Every structure is written in C-alpha cells, then in structure tokens.
C-alpha cells in the first residue's frame, strides 16, 4: 500500500508541475513517515541523514567543476577556432557545415561533458553560419542539439559521474573509457542522416561561395583547444590526477586560454561565469541529494527486491527485459532530464542487471546513450531548447529533422546492445 502511494505521489507531484527533485524527496519523505507511524520523528531524522549522505560524496565535486569548464570554454573562443579548423578539413560542400557542427560538438565533449553548455557554445557560432549558407533554421537547431548530445558519452561526462555514484561497482575511469567508442559511433550515426537530409533538400548552396579556411593557419589557432582533451584525459590515464582533480585542472586551463592566450575573456567576466555555473551546479546537486531520499525509501520499504523478482521471472528473458527498459527510457527521456532519469530508474534497474549478470559498465553506457537521445527529443529536450532559442524557432518546427537524428543515434544504441565489446574493450585494454 505504502509503495503504491510512493509512486502515485511522485507521479501526481510531477503532473502538477512540481520540480523533479522536490517530487522525489517529498514522495520519499512521506512514504518513510507513513511506514513508521509510531516513530515519525525517527523516520524524519533518517531522511536528513540520507540527504547529507547523498551529497557528501567525493566524485560529486567534479560536477560543479565540469559545469564551470563548459561556461569558461563557451566564452574562451575555443569553439570558434575549432569550427574554422573543421571547415578547413571538410570544405563547404552540401551538408559539410552539419558535419562541422557535429564534429566540433563531439570534440567539446572531451572538455566539458555538458550537453546544454556545448549546444550554447556551438550553436552561437554554427547556427548563424548555417543560416547564412542556406540551411533552414530548424534544421540547424536540430543538428546542433543532436551533436551536443554526444557530450555526455565522450569523456568527461557529468551523467557518467552521477551513474558511478549510484553504482559504485562501475568506476568513473572505466565509464569514461567505455563511453569513447559508443560516443564516436553516435556521432557517425548523426552525421549520416544530417548529410543525407542536406543533399536531399539541396541545403547549403550559399556555403560553396565561401572561401575555405587555410588548414595550417587554422590548426595553429586551434592548437590550444586541441590540447585540452589530451591534458584532461591523458592526465587521468597517466595517474597524475583523479577525474575530480582533472575537472579543476580543466578550469584553470580554460581560464589560462581565455584570459592570457586568446584574450577573449577578462577578470570581470569571472563573476557572471561563476554565478551561472554555481546556479546550474546547485540545481544538479539538489536533485541528486533529494533523489537519494527517494532511493533510500525504496530500500527501506523493501520495494526493489519484489519488483526485481517479478521482472526476472516474467519469462521475457534478458533481451526482452532490456528492450522494455529501453522503450521505457525513451518515453522518460521525452519528459525528464538525463540526471533525473538516472536517479529515478538506476536504483530499480541495477538489481535486474545483477540478476541477469549484465556488465554494469556496459549498462551505464547503454543508459547514457538513452539519456543522450532524450536531450534532443521533444517535448522536453534541454539541448534542443538551447539551440532553438539561439535559432529563434519553435521546438515543434524541428520534429521533421530531429526524428532522423534520433533514428541515427538509436542505430548506434542497437550496435552497442548487440556487441557489448564496443563499449568494454577499451576499459579492459586500459586495465579498468
């Protein structure tokens, strides 16, 4: 009875517009209090302890740092120089600006790990350029939003850090390594329909009139940005710093580039950057801690074990169950952000995965791929919100283009599901 009330209250709170974190924490608190009618105050004390325990975790320190990195590189001029380098390689043929947008977004994923931050950085440069070249605004917004979704797959990834908090058996370095190849596959899965659509609808005719940037000059200007993922990921691999420390190194490296190298930032810019990153980080951390109360209530009320047994003995088998989970997360991704999806569903999915002997690192990559799809799938798509605001188009106008991008990334998901070694061979090779 109380377990049904827990989920019913959560759904009702979400339906009336209560923020996800408050809905999770509120439903969990009420359920815990009702489960101990004679000791309400003791239950509420446990809630406060669970709140603190959900926040006091060392890997969570990386989240505000990587959020700050995204804001810094957004203003440092790195994205603009990477765009010119990519254009010098691809040229200005049909669909090539779409390839540039997706490729640069993938590369920025190796710096910030935040999809909305990448959508803002790439969109501010590429959407205007694509519009001038004759690409429809809705198409440009769709390409940028989809390309930015690869950021949570290509390390470093804020979503994977959250997953490692929920699933301690999957370490952050192993998840980062496992996301590399699927992230590249997802990018290729987006490039194929983007180029096909551009050529089919004869987009980008004006781009052919633009001169091709010189390669060596563009490479020289982009070398500081190209070095960022090498320093961040290489330093972690060599053991010079942990993922959390790598986020701090990335912050100072970005400040050095923006203030002293490119000189696109000043010390006065630091306050709005810190304020923006602080606000976003506070929202993420609050959702994480309130979701910890919800997860603790699931454990306290003994809901997970009966639910796991029912799923495992449903007769669907591992692939049938996995298919249902993917369909469920597709629907959830249309309405919830990625971190909320992890916090709600991972405590329920992990026991099922252990019962079927699924690799938890591989499962993290599969779930992250689903979250990536949700970041540009209407009606609630954080990346698409950002790119549509920059392009000044309504989100519904992007559906005819987004559906092809979703299909491309789903193809990458199918490959990772059918061939788990696509995700696991690199962490195994690196010894994680």
The two structure tokens encoding residue 76: 């440092």
Per-residue pLDDT tens digits for 303-326: 666 767 777 777 778 888 888 888
Contact 50, 293 (CB under 8 A): yes
What pLDDT, on a 0 to 100 scale, did the predictor assign at position 350? Answer: 87
Q: What does pLDDT average to over the chain?
A: 81
> What CA–CA distance (Å, rounded) separates 336 from 120?
20
Task: Give residue 414's pLDDT band: very low, low, confident or very high (50, 70, 90).
Answer: very high
Is residue 43 over pLDDT 60?
Answer: no
Contact 21, 43 (CB under 8 A): no
Contact 383, 115 (CB under 8 A): yes
**Most confidently predicted of 22-36, 87-101, 235-249, 355-369:** 355-369
> What CA–CA distance (Å, rounded) separates 398 from 350?
35
Per-residue pLDDT tens digits for 350-370: 888 888 889 999 999 999 998
Q: Using alpha carbons, select from 281, 402, 294, 406 the residue that is nearest to residue 346.
A: 294
> What CA–CA distance (Å, rounded) separates 263 from 255?
10
Q: Residue-wise over 405-417: b if at least 16 C-beta within 10 A, else e?
A: bbebbbbbbebbb
Task: Give residue 140's pLDDT band: very low, low, confident or very high (50, 70, 90).
Answer: very high
Contact 190, 103 (CB under 8 A): no
What pLDDT, on a 0 to 100 scale, did the predictor assign at position 205? Answer: 63
- Quote the DSSP letter at residue 211: P
At residue 135, φ and ψ (nearest 5 deg) are -85, 140
What pLDDT, on a 0 to 100 scale, did the predictor assign at position 415? Answer: 94
What pLDDT, on a 0 to 100 scale, did the predictor assign at position 343? Answer: 77
Torsion angle (degrees, nearest 10) of CA 322, 429, 174, 303: 30
What pLDDT, on a 0 to 100 scale, did the predictor assign at position 360? Answer: 94
What pLDDT, on a 0 to 100 scale, did the predictor assign at position 207? Answer: 57
Contact 363, 346 (CB under 8 A): no
Contact 238, 53 (CB under 8 A): no
Query: Is residue 18 helix, strand or coil?
Result: coil
The two structure tokens encoding residue 383: 């990346």
Q: What value does the mean pLDDT take over residues 40-49?
A: 62
Backbone conformation region of residue 357, classed left if phi is above 0, alpha if psi is from -120 to 50, else beta: left
> What CA–CA distance (Å, rounded) separates 185 from 337?
22
Task: Give residue 1's pLDDT band: very low, low, confident or very high (50, 70, 90).
Answer: low
The two structure tokens encoding residue 290: 């309130």
Q: Using alpha carbons, select from 187, 189, 161, 194 the residue that is nearest to residue 175.
A: 161
Per-residue pLDDT tens digits for 225-266: 888 888 887 887 787 887 778 878 888 888 898 888 888 888
Q: Residue-wise over 182-219: b if at least 16 C-beta within 10 A, else e?
A: bbbbbbebbbbbbbebbeeeebbeebeeeeebeeeebb
| Burial class of residue 73 in the structure, from the number of CB atoms within 10 Å of its CB (0-12 exposed, 13-18 middle, 19+ buried) | buried
At residue 112, φ and ψ (nearest 5 deg) are -105, -40
Backbone conformation region of residue 113, classed left if phi is above 0, alpha if psi is from -120 to 50, else beta: left
Q: Using alpha carbons, select from 322, 374, 368 the residue that is nearest to residue 349.
A: 322
Contact 141, 387 (CB under 8 A): yes
> What CA–CA distance (Å, rounded) separates 151 from 154?
5
Query: Is residue 182 helix, strand or coil?
Result: helix
Q: How far apart are the first and last CA of the chain?
A: 43
Contact 151, 120 (CB under 8 A): no
Identify the residue with better confidence: 26 or 181. 181
The pTM for the full model equals 0.80
């Amino acid at each position: 009875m109380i377990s049904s009330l827990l989920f019913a209250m959560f759904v009702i709170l979400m339906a009336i517009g209560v923020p996800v974190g408050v809905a999770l924490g509120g439903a969990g608190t009420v359920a815990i209090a009702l489960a101990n009618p004679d000791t309400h105050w003791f239950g509420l004390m446990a809630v406060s302890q669970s709140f603190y325990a959900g926040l006091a975790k060392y890997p969570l320190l990386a989240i505000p740092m990587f959020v700050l990195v995204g804001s810094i590189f957004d203003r440092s001029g790195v994205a603009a120089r990477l765009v010119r380098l990519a254009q010098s390689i691809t040229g200005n043929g049909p669909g090539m600006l779409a390839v540039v947008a997706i490729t640069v977004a993938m590369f920025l994923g190796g710096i910030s790990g935040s999809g909305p931050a990448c959508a803002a950085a790439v969109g501010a440069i590429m959407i205007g350029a694509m519009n001038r070249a004759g690409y429809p605004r809705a198409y440009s917004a769709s390409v940028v939003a989809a390309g930015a979704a690869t950021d949570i797959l290509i390390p470093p990834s804020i979503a994977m850090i959250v997953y490692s908090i929920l699933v301690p058996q999957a370490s952050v370095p192993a998840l980062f390594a496992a996301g590399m190849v699927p992230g590249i596959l997802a990018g290729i899965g987006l490039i194929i329909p983007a180029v096909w659509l551009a050529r089919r609808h004869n987009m980008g005719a004006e781009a052919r009139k633009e001169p091709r940037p010189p390669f060596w000059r563009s490479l020289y200007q982009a070398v500081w940005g190209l070095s960022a993922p090498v320093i961040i990921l290489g330093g972690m691999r060599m053991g010079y710093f942990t993922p959390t420390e790598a986020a701090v190194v990335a912050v100072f490296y970005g400040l050095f580039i923006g203030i002293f190298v490119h000189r696109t930032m000043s010390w006065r810019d630091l306050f709005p950057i810190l304020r923006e990153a602080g606000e976003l980080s506070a929202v993420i951390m609050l959702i994480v801690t309130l979701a910890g109360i919800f997860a603790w209530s699931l454990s306290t009320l003994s809901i997970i074990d009966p639910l796991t047994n029912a799923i495992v003995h449903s007769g669907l088998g591992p692939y049938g169950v996995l298919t249902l989970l993917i369909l469920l997360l597709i629907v959830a991704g249309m309405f919830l952000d990625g971190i909320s999806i992890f916090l709600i569903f991972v405590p329920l999915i992990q026991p099922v995965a252990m019962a079927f002997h699924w690799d938890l690192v591989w499962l993290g990559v599969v779930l992250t791929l689903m979250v990536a799809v949700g970041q540009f799938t209407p009606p609630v798509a954080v990346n698409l919100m950002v790119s549509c605001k920059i392009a000044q188009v309504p989100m519904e106008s992007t559906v005819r283009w987004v559906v092809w991008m979703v299909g491309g990334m789903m193809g990458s998901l199918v490959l990772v599901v059918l061939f788990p070694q696509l995700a696991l061979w690199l962490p195994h090779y690196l010894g994680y």
